[in-house]
Structure 1
Amino acid sequence: MPYTAITYDIKSGYEDEVAEVFGDFQRPKSTVVPGADGEQAGRILATAVFIRDSTLVRFIEYEGDLEAVARFMATQPGVRQVERKLAPYLNKPRDTGTVDGFLRTFRESQLRCITQFTVPRA
């Protein structure tokens, strides 16, 4: 399964406050990602968030079309809430208030994937 990772530039010294923001994250009701035609375009399999000093990284394991995954995330109440709550702790504002802004920010904050290794799952 492919992975992607996005970064957030966090103000140093706020690691605990940022951890609290993710502590009550509302997961989407479904992992199924719809495409533009309403058919399944992918699934979000797992996410993980890591922080150290001023760097926060969100890893996403997914299936299917990454653009559809990002668009799906842009509309999820839990994701939108996290983005709003993180705003005071960011070194640089993120334009995530609209779907287009979220998609642009998602692309701009993506880390380049160097390699991925996955063990086959049963």
Structure 2
Amino acid sequence: MPFAAITYDIKAGYEKEITEIFTGFRRVGSPVVKGDGGEESARILSTAVFIRDDTMVRVIEYEGDLRAIARHMAVQPGVREVEEKLAPYLTRPRATDTVEGFIATFERSLLTCMAQMSVRDAPRPSTS
């Protein structure tokens, strides 16, 4: 399962306030992301948020189409609420108030994955 990481440029010294924003986060209704025809196109498996100084990173573990996940996240009330509450703490504004703006910001904030390893990907040892 791949991981994606997106960055946020934040004002240093507001870790407590930003942590409080995520403490009340409203999760998405379903981890399943539907395509245009109603078929499952992706699945969000887990997320995590990390912060230090002036950088915050959101990590997403997923299956399927990452662009579909960005599109799905763009319309989730909890995600929109967090983006709005984060705005005063950003050093670089994020144009996430439209689906198109959210997707463009998501793609621009995406870190390049250099390596990924999981015990799930390792060959199982022989039991004979």
TM-score above 0.5: yes
Tell me which amino acid in the other structure corresponds to 1:119.
V
Shift of 1:29: 1.1
Structure-2 residue corresponding to 1:43: 43
Structure-2 residue corresponding to 1:96: 96
Name the SS for the 1:51 alignment partner. Answer: strand
Structure-2 residue corresponding to 1:82: 82
Shift of 1:38: 1.4
Shift of 1:93: 0.6
Question: Equivalent residues in 2 for 1:15-94 (5 A)?
Answer: 15-94=15-94
Name the SS for the 2:119 alignment partner. Answer: coil
Q: Spell out, residue by residue over 1:25-84, the C-alpha distance to the aligned partner (whole angstroms, 9 max, x if none).
A: 000110000112211001000000000001000000000000101100001000000000
Moved over 3 A (4+): none
Shift of 1:97: 0.1
Tell me which amino acid in the other structure corresponds to 2:99.
V
User: How much is the aligned-residue C-alpha RMSD, in angstroms?
Assistant: 0.9
Shift of 1:120: 1.5
Structure-2 residue corresponding to 1:4: 4
CA distance in 1, matches of 2:105, 2:120: 32
Tell me which amino acid in the other structure corresponds to 1:120.
R
Gaps of 5+ in 2: 122-128
Tell me which amino acid in the other structure corresponds to 2:104.
R
Which of 1 and 2 has greater Rg? 2
CA distance in 1, matches of 2:5, 2:36: 23
Tell me which amino acid in the other structure corresponds to 2:30.
S
Gaps of 5+ in 1: none
CA distance in 1, matches of 2:79, 2:112: 22
In the alignment, structure 1 residue 107 sits paired with structure 2 residue 107: yes
CA distance in 2, matches of 1:72, 1:119: 28
Shift of 1:119: 1.3
